[in-house]
Homo-oligomer: A and B are copies of this chain.
Amino acid sequence: MRKVAVVGIGHAKFGVRTDVNINELAWEAIKLACEDACLTPKDVEFSVVGSGFSSLGYEEILAAVTITEYANMMLAGHVRCESACATGSAAVHIAHMRIASGISDVVMALGVEKMTEVDTPTMVELIGRAGSYLWEYENFGCSFPGYYALLATSHMAKFGTTAEDLARVAVKNHHYGSINENAYLRNEITVEDVLASRLVAWPNKFLDCCPINDGSAAIILASEEKAKEIAEKNRKPIIWIKGVGVAGDTAYIGARRDLYSIRSSELASQRAYKMAGISPEDLDVAAVHDCFTIGEILAYEDVGFCKKGDGAKLIKERQTYHDGKIPVNVDGGLKAKGHPIGATGCSMVYEMTKQLREDVEEERQVKVKNGLGMAHNVGGTGHSCYITILGRES
């Protein structure tokens, strides 16, 4: 397999972006990624656009076409992909394969979503339909805060996890969001704030839930030869894709093995570690899927940062802060950045690249020892999981 590197990254400000249309929002990230890699849009040989709500959250039914035309990179060819909330990582994965296979040398993965043009109840319904629509949504009327409440209560019952433990995740992620200029929520909060916030679906309070918003992030990947050429120009360390892992699970949440873990996370992480030839202990930093605070605790356990049931302890001991044993979501995570579905996975790879380049704000820069970072992106309630392991050294 050919080696593949991240050579250019770009990130738009996440938030309520009524100031731009989908093409303009995408371009904010594309422009920065091209500049970062000292490339022009015409140097990109193929584009993979991760966007889940094309013609639902925003007006264009063919987002990949309008975006690549706007960015003047359409002749190269493009595809749009979707894997629910893991859509952005799926885009990175397809772009990676295009280079690893030898078909192209420079490929862009773009994650982009507009979700705030649609009224919130409609968007919550659309997200709620991500599952088994005819069975679960129609019969039980469950939406995402409810699904994740099922996971949280199961974890609480099995391992004694508390609402305070969940709240601590939100506190950490808001802290780091307050330092990250691309984040949507920039305010510090306390455990008390979380516990006192409006109940959504017990034990999920308002501040346990990540916000719906708009955003984009772009990742340009390149072959080894091309990456070395670019490194001579932009003088930035080359960050390689060391491993990828993908897994899925049942649409119907009632058919899962259990509700206190996400099996697709376990499987995908095992596959990615194997491909990269590493163990969870080797990682310097990670971005995990904290769409709800329980999501981050489940991730700690599912990908092996601690043993099953010890997730709450990890955050209680502050081991996932930037100076802890395994820093997690020190960019604010979905919780503070917001979760524009298609953009999230690319935003995670953006952050891992910046951390491994040692190029983020000092108050949240992790110590880079092994030069390894991981992006963990869950689709739906574990309907899919995409893992990307990045590494600095060759």
Contact = CB atoms under 8 A, between A and B. Distances in A.
Contacts of A126: 55, 61
A224 interface: no
Interface string A18-46: 00010000000000000000000000001
B82 A80 contact: yes
Interface majority SS (helix, strand, loop, mixed), chain A: mixed
Contacts of A383: 62, 65
B1 A102 contact: yes
A103 B1 contact: yes
Contact of A75 (B61, B68, B90, B248): B248
A296 B109 CA distance: 32
Interface residues of A, number: 62
Q: How many copies does the complex hold?
A: 2
Interface in A304-343: none
A273 to B, nearest CB: 15
Contact of A100 (B21, B59, B103, B130): B103
Nearest to A86: B79
A108 to B, nearest CB: 13
A43 B204 CA distance: 39
A80 B81 CA distance: 6
Nearest to A68: B248
Contacts of A134: 21, 59-60
A380 B68 CA distance: 15
A248 B83 contact: no
B1 A129 contact: no
Interface in A349-394: 379-380, 383-384
A259 B340 CA distance: 37
Contacts of A62: 82, 84, 130-131, 251, 379-380, 383
A132 interface: yes
A206 interface: no
Given A81-B79, A81-B81, A133-B60, A101 B380 contact: no
A105 to B, nearest CB: 13
Contacts of A78: 83, 246, 248, 384
A191 interface: no
B66 A132 contact: yes
Interface string A101-125: 1110000000000000000000000
A390 to B, nearest CB: 17
A244 B246 CA distance: 24
Contacts of A55: 56, 126, 129
Interface of A: 1-2, 21, 46, 54-56, 59-62, 64-66, 68-69, 74-84, 90, 93-94, 96-98, 100-103, 126, 129-134, 244, 246-252, 255, 263-264, 267-268, 275, 379-380, 383-384
18 contacts: A1-B101, A2-B101, A54-B82, A59-B129, A59-B134, A60-B129, A62-B251, A66-B133, A69-B252, A74-B248, A75-B249, A77-B246, A78-B246, A78-B248, A79-B82, A94-B97, A96-B101, A97-B100
Closest 8 CB pairs of A and B: A77-B246, A100-B101, A97-B97, A101-B101, A74-B248, A1-B102, A65-B383, A65-B251
